[in-house]
């Protein structure tokens, strides 16, 4: 859905949508598992810029929720996670801060985004918000045993015959110590 500047100049825009999986490309490591629900509103905000100049910023306020399919950080099996969040964002016209990089990095300004041309795609806003809400490290279960570093077996499902690397070293060390003691 395009949040169009032309429409915002006439009135505030409200939205309430359910985006099917694949409506947004989250990259190869992340699948949207259920519809992405979102609702909110967008409005134009005049931002003063000295000498009588003003920017037409788009302010988008809303929330979202969906279920994502991630990969377990240890065994790489699929993991489902609910994600949800609120947002209150400002988008400036692209180029508004050209030559002012230092100023735009400071403090809350880091949250400012940019739109170009006709307006702002709601899908782009949601893509960024969902990616920010993704847990950094998901595991299928706390006790997940992960993959064998030697043969790659999923140790939750099968026991392999590889010797644990660290276990062997410690074993040898203990043997030497025992010999030294006696
Ligand atoms: Zn796992
Ligand atoms: Zn193994």
From the CA of 75, the nearest ligand is 1
For tokens 């990259």, name the residue: 27
Strand boundaries in 101-178, DSSP class E = 113-115, 119-121
From the CA of 73, the nearest ligand is 1
Write out the two tokens for 130: 């969902």
Write out the two tokens for 109: 């300004």
Element (H or E) spanning 122, and its range? helix 122-133
Ligand 2 centroid distance, CA of 164 (Å): 8
Give the separation between CA 43 and CA 57, rounded to whole angstroms.
Answer: 8
User: Which class for 175: exposed (0-12), middle (13-18), buried (19 or more C-beta within 10 A)?
Assistant: exposed
Ligand 1 centroid distance, CA of 60 (Å): 37
- Give which of 93, 89, 91, 92 is closest to 61, Cα–Cα: 89
Q: What is the pLDDT along the chain (182 residues), one digit of tens a residue?
A: 999 999 999 999 999 999 999 899 998 889 999 999 999 999 999 988 877 788 899 999 999 999 999 999 999 999 999 999 999 999 999 888 776 654 544 444 557 899 999 999 999 999 999 999 998 889 999 999 999 999 999 999 999 999 866 655 555 656 666 677 66
Ligand 1 centroid distance, CA of 83 (Å): 19
- End-to-end CA distance of the chain, in Å? 78
From the CA of 77, the nearest ligand is 1
For tokens 């279960």, name the residue: 141
pLDDT of residue 182: 61
Ligand 2 centroid distance, CA of 146 (Å): 11
pLDDT of residue 104: 47
Ligand 2 centroid distance, CA of 156 (Å): 12
From the CA of 150, the nearest ligand is 2
Give the separation between CA 95 and CA 102, rounded to whole angstroms.
Answer: 14
pLDDT of residue 53: 82
For tokens 């699929």, name the residue: 78
From the CA of 142, the nearest ligand is 1
Ligand 1 centroid distance, CA of 8 (Å): 47
pLDDT of residue 81: 95
Ligand 1 centroid distance, CA of 139 (Å): 5
Give the separation between CA 175 and CA 22, rounded to whole angstroms.
Answer: 58
Ligand 1 centroid distance, CA of 73 (Å): 7
Parse the chain into domains and list their residue ranges: 2-133, 145-182
From the CA of 146, the nearest ligand is 1
């Amino acid at each position: 859905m395009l949040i169009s500047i032309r429409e915002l100049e006439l009135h505030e825009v409200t939205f309430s949508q359910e985006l099917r999986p694949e409506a947004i490309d989250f990259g190869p490591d992340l699948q949207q598992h259920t519809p992405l629900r979102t609702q909110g509103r967008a409005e134009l905000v005049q931002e003063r810029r000295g000498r009588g100049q003003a920017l037409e910023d788009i302010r988008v306020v809303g929330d979202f929720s969906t279920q994502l399919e991630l990969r377990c950080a240890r065994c790489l099996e699929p993991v489902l996670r609910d994600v949800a969040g609120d947002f209150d964002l400002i988008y400036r016209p692209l180029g508004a801060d050209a030559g002012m990089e230092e100023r735009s990095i400071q403090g809350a300004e880091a949250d400012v985004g940019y739109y170009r041309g006709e307006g702002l795609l709601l899908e782009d806003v949601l893509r960024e918000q969902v990616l920010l809400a993704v847990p950094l490290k998901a595991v299928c279960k706390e006790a997940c045993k992960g993959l064998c570093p030697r043969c790659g077996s999923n140790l939750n499902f099968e026991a392999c015959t590889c010797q644990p690397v660290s276990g062997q070293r410690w074993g040898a060390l203990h043997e030497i110590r025992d010999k030294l003691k006696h």
